[in-house]
Chains A and B, each alone.
Chain A
Amino acid sequence: DAKTTQPNSMESNEEEPVHLPCNHSTISGTDYIHWYRQLPSQGPEYVIHGLTSNVNNRMASLAIAEDRKSSTLILHRATLRDAAVYYCILRVKGNTNAGKSTFGDGTTLTVKP
């Protein structure tokens, strides 16, 4: 399985944008890039996913490099509620084993008031 690399931790100020990077240099053409986050004392929750084009939803934006070897999750205005561990995961399109992808260690985001 292709691996992802994320910084262990990042800090942000409240109401400022946050850019969370993820490197996936061995990504294959059929790998979707997924982001999940885990708030304290909760299960992980889906944030966003993409294949090649940048994606936006109500929670965040996903910027994917042209060569797809890296991506960035963008929180446009961080709030205290966004403090969580953010996981970048690769999942293969149309693969029934896609849900088996490992979560890795993720990035712990701290938001300062």
Chain B
Amino acid sequence: DAGVIQSPRHEVTEMGQEVTLRCKPISGHDYLFWYRQTMMRGLELLIYFNNNVPIDDSGMPEDRFSAKMPNASFSTLKIQPSEPRDSAVYFCASSFFEPTMVVQYFGPGTRLLVL
């Protein structure tokens, strides 16, 4: 398996622009997670899905952030409008629910810089 795939790997944009980050989870996994990592706040969970349904979005910072999972093999995280404080590395992870443990497989991340 190719692992979790994220695109783009790097994104530079200007304040006010819309940013769309993409994720393809590992085939067969029914959980998908979006994280954000910064030096100040570490690794934060933004939202996660189970069987394409958002389960918990309490980590989404504000209404400018939205996430969708239209099917089992694709998810997007959108920021509109973007702000410089959104600059971070965004990770997508997937897992399958197994009663005795939950192992997450992370993608390589998207490094976002908002100027």
Contact = CB atoms under 8 A, between A and B. Distances in A.
Given A96-B50, A97-B56, A99-B48, A43 B91 contact: yes
Interface in A87-113: 87, 91, 93-94, 96-100, 102-105
A94 B99 contact: yes
Among A43, A45, A105, find the residue whose CB has the most chain B CB atoms closer than 10 A: A43
Contact of A44 (B43, B48, B97, B100): B43
B42 interface: yes
Interface string B66-109: 00000000000000000000000001010101011111111111
A103 B93 contact: no
B103 A43 contact: no
Contact of B108 (A42, A87, A91, A94): A42
B45 interface: yes
Judged by DSSP, the binding face of B is strand
Contacts of B44: 102
B88 to A, nearest CB: 13
A46 B100 contact: no
Contact of A43 (B55, B93, B95, B99): B93
A32 interface: yes
6 contacts: A36-B104, A42-B108, A43-B93, A45-B105, A98-B101, A102-B43
